[in-house]
Amino acid sequence: MTIQPYGGVLVDRVAGAAEADSLRGAAAEMPRLQISEWTLSDLYLIAVGGLSPLEGFMGREAYESVVEHMRLPNGLPWSIPVVLPATDDEAAALSVGQQAALYAPDGELAAVIDVAEVFDRERAREAENVFRTTDDAHPGVAAMYRMGGKCVGGAIHYVYGKDITGFPAENLKPAETRAAFAAKGWETVVAFQTRNPIHRAHEYIQKCALETVDGLLVHPLVGETKSDDIPADVRMACYHVLLDGYYPVDRVMLSVLPAAMRYAGPREAIFHSIMRRNYGCSHFIVGRDHAGVGDYYGTYDAQKIFDEIDLDALGIEPMKFEHSFYCLRTKQMATAKTSPASLEERVFLSGTKVREMLSRGESPPEEFTRPEIAAILMKSYQARG
């Protein structure tokens, strides 16, 4: 069974060699927009099909439909607006019908956009609807407020020739993960989203999911995250050690997702699942406080939102897991569904707790994470002081 891309066609907006050379030659005469790491991530994912069916950045109709109704204008569920921000000065230099050059943070030409629209971004309304708060202490809201107040909509032509992840060997495009799944004979694949090292609770729910599907895609997000999140290179070292030592090699695959982290909780859970469908997955793990931060979302809000949308249209099956813990009575991982332990006999695990222990110079115990992972994390924190 082949999982169809979202919208039916896997988008490819990467310019061929001849087109790329032509665009690079013409870019000097085009209006210029400077883009951030966040926008470069969105740009790349549009180009390789990770955000299919988008062929470019959203125009006003799509933007407003997503912010207000969590749908694209064609009716497909979609939860996060994907827009190209611009400053007032940048927007003033644009004309609908022309092309503009998008430059990456390193100064290289990243893409050319066919300017179809320029419109105002309603940031307060977007924050309230997407993030459920206008509090600029929320990292996603703060990042949005730092962006320009205009948006530029239109199809893109991607020409950036560099890897944007730092992990080129593990940066498989959607077409490549799909080919890999087919080669392995996997018809059902569950994706696991993470921006933390995998601790014992994560491992438990992944392996529970793996009991019912053919394969597991560990798909860590390696785009822009909060400054206090564990760096991607440290996390990747942890993933390799864990998968090599504790997982069946023929049932699991590691690839990175070059997306920026929005911390949009429930809406981002939907967004993450759409991308994983494009990468060829049939199932998506949704655990406790998916894509959450602080106290902005309820513990299981990211699971409840899947009850509010058309799952047939979404086309990927959410696998919902309760908060798992290490049970001191049974000496194993469990949830309230499987353990008779009292609250005092439950060791609850989270990325936040692991980071807190490391910041105090404490090595996480084996109930939290595998010893090899604890050693990598301790070395990293000691090196950073």
Task: Write out the two tokens for 259.
Answer: 């997306």
Mean pLDDT for the stretch of residues 35-52: 98
The HSE-up count of residue 128 (CA atoms within 13 Å, CB side) is: 5
- CATH 3.40.50.620 maps onto the chain at 168-257+322-383
**Which top CATH class is 17-158?**
alpha beta
pLDDT score, position 358: 82
**Helix residue ranges, H only, the chain:** 17-27, 37-48, 60-69, 88-92, 123-126, 139-146, 174-184, 200-210, 232-246, 266-278, 301-304, 311-314, 351-359, 371-383
Looking at residue 66, its pLDDT comes to: 98
Q: How many helices (H) and strands (E) does the chain have?
A: 14, 15
Is residue 268 pLDDT above 70, yes or no? yes
Using CB atoms within 10 Å of the CB of residue 116, give its burial: 0 to 12 exposed, 13 to 18 middle, 19+ buried: middle
Please identify which residue in the block is written with the tokens 């694949």: 189
90-114 pLDDT, tens digit each: 999 999 999 999 999 999 999 999 9
CA separation (Å) from 49 to 7, 134, 178, 222, 325? 11, 31, 12, 17, 37
- Mean pLDDT, to the nearest integer, of 148-164? 97
DSSP string, 106-136: TSSEEEEEE--EEEE--HHHHIIIIIS---T
Residues acting as catalytic residues: 195-196
User: Apex CA 65: angle with CA 62 and CA 68, to 5°?
Assistant: 145
Looking at the chain, which residues constitute the CATH 3.10.400.10 domain(s)? 17-158
Confidence class of residue 196 from pLDDT cuts 50, 70 and 90?
confident
* SS3 of residue 328 by DSSP: coil
Q: Tokens 């790491």 label which residue?
A: 37
pTM of the predicted model over 0.75: yes
Contacts of 185 (CB under 8 A, 6+ apart): 214
- What is the CATH code for 168-257+322-383? 3.40.50.620
